[in-house]
């Protein structure tokens, strides 16, 4: 009896220790995020270097964010990024789903060679083609234009088809056969049979291609390099706020902007993760 009690005590203490360890880790992981939140509510516009928490709390910096000056034009940046993200989202979702469907459901002679080439191209990061893309866009006068940026984000998106293909692979072929016998064309099978069944992966693709431009820094930095504040995306705008000459008057606004842009992105990101898991596990059950 006594031994059992002791065992149980042992178990409880090990559970407490276990959860305490996780709590400590989570605490470390969240320190910078908490600092971001707190600093954004500071009354002082520069960087507070003496205390962790701001000395005076206020929402003044959030208010300032919506009253743009020549440097900080947050609403304009937000709008720019939103427009770019919408176009990119439509084009790359189409490309990804089209390539995934063609390689998963259709059978044609070039299928294997194309997929092998995609594997090789996929393993070379897009970073390398970037400077050459920049040369090319420059000679067509497409730098500092949203058209160029949208093209860069979405043109090669077909290469990221593997996750969606993995999902389409699990959709039972008998369904397609049945539709074909009923006289359905291949295009209608795609639109009216497969796509409605693939909601998780469609949502996942839509969100991930919408998030691309919001999360990106490099391409925007390279292509929007003329230094006109009203044309920036959020990423470039916030980056410019931390220039050595500006950081002392804009650091808190940077934090406020960072919080504002992070909230919708985080929400979308978490939703995307859920659909991803649903797509993977749902697929496994069906297959």
Partner 1 sequence: MAKKESGNVILAAVRGFFGAIGGFFSSFGTAVAKGDFATKLSLLWLGAGYARRRQYVKAVIMTVLEAAVIWFTFGFALNYVPKFGTLGTVEPEVVFNIETMQNEYNDFDNSFQILLFSLFSFVVWFAAVIVWMKNVMNAYELQKKAERGEHINTFREDLHSYIEEKFHITLLTLPVLGIVVFTFIPILLLIFVAFTNYDQNHMPPSTLFTWTGLSNFLSLFGGGGLTVTFGYAFVRVLGWTLVWAFFATFTTYIGGILLSVLLNSRKTRLPKLWRTLFIVTIAVPQFVSLLLVRNFFSNGGIVNTICANIGLTGFLRNIGLVSTSYIPFLSAPGWAHVMIILINIWIGVPYQMLIATGVLMNLPTDQLESARVDGARPFQVFKSITMPYLLFVTGPALVTDFVKNINNFNVIYLLTESVYTTTNQAMANSQAKEVDLLVTWLFRLTQDYYNYKMASAIGIIVFVICAVFTLIAFNSMIKGDREGTYQ
Within 150-189, the residues that bind partner 1 by CB under 8 A are 151-152, 154-159, 185-188
Q: Which stretch binds partner 1 (CB under 8 A): 54-62, 66-74, 149-157, 168-176?
A: 149-157
By CB under 8 A, the residues from 239 to 258 that bind partner 1 are: 239, 242-244, 247, 251, 254-255, 258
According to CB under 8 A, which one of 116, 192, 230, 249 is a site residue for partner 1? Answer: 116
Sites for partner 1 among residues 54-93 (CB under 8 A): none
Does the footprint of partner 1 cover residue 226 (CB under 8 A)? no
Write the CB contacts of 186 (distance below 8 Å, at least 6 apart in sequence).
106
Return the range that interacts with partner 1 (CB under 8 A); candidates 57-65, 68-76, 82-90, 105-113.
105-113
Rounded to whole angstroms, how far apart are CA atoms 268 and 82? 14
CB 98 within 8 A of CB 249: no
| Count of residues interacting with partner 1 (CB under 8 A) | 90
| Cβ nearer to partner 1, comparing 180 with 199 | 180
Among 2, 4, 67, 113, binds partner 1 (CB under 8 A): 113
Q: Examine residue 41 and tell whether it contacts partner 1 (CB under 8 A).
A: no
Question: Min. distance of Cβ 247 from partner 1 in angstroms?
Answer: 8
- Cα separation, 13 vs 4, whole angstroms: 14
Q: Exposure pattern of 67-88 as b/e (b: 16+ CB <10 Å)?
A: eeeeebbbebbbebbeebbebb
Residue 57 three-state SS: strand
Strand ranges inside 37-97, DSSP E: none
Per 3-state DSSP, the chain is made up of helix, strand and coil in percentages (nearest 5) of: 75, 0, 25
Taking CB under 8 A as the criterion, which residues in 8-37 touch partner 1? Answer: 14-15, 18-19, 21-22, 25-26, 29-30, 32-33, 35-36
Residue closer to partner 1 by CB (options 68, 258) is 258
> Shortest Cβ distance from residue 206 to partner 1 (Å)?
17
Reported residue count of the chain is: 287
CB of 217 to partner 1, least distance (A): 5
Q: In 10 A of CB 115, how many CB atoms?
A: 14
In angstroms, give the least distance from the CB of 258 to partner 1: 4
Other CB atoms within a 10 A radius of the CB of residue 283 amount to 18
């Amino acid at each position: 009896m006594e031994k059992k009690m002791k065992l149980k005590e042992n178990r409880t203490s090990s559970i407490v220790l276990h959860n305490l360890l996780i709590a400590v880790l989570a605490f470390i992981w969240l320190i910078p995020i908490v600092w971001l939140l707190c600093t954004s509510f500071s009354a002082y516009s520069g960087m507070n270097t003496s205390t962790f928490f701001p000395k005076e709390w206020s929402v003044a910096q959030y208010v300032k964010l919506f009253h743009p000056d020549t440097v900080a034009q947050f609403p304009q940046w937000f709008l720019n990024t939103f427009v770019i993200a919408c176009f990119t989202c439509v084009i790359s979702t189409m490309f990804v789903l089209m390539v995934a469907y063609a390689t998963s459901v259709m059978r044609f002679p070039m299928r294997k060679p194309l997929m092998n080439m995609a594997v090789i191209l996929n393993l070379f990061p897009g970073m390398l083609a970037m400077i050459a893309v920049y040369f090319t866009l420059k000679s067509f006068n497409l730098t500092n234009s949203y058209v160029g940026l949208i093209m860069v984000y979405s043109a090669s998106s077909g290469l990221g088809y593997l996750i969606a293909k993995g999902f389409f692979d699990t959709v039972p072929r008998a369904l397609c056969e049945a539709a074909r016998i009923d006289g359905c064309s291949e295009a209608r099978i795609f639109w009216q049979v497969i796509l409605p069944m693939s909601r998780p992966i469609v949502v996942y693709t839509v969100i991930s291609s919408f998030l691309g431009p919001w999360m990106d820094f490099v391409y925007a930095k390279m292509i929007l390099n003329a230094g006109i504040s009203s044309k920036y995306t959020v990423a470039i705008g916030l980056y410019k706020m931390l220039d050595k000459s500006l950081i002392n008057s804009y650091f808190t606004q940077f934090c406020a902007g960072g919080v504002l842009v992070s909230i919708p992105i985080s929400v979308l990101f978490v939703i995307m993760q859920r659909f991803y898991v649903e797509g993977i596990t749902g697929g496994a059950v069906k297959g």
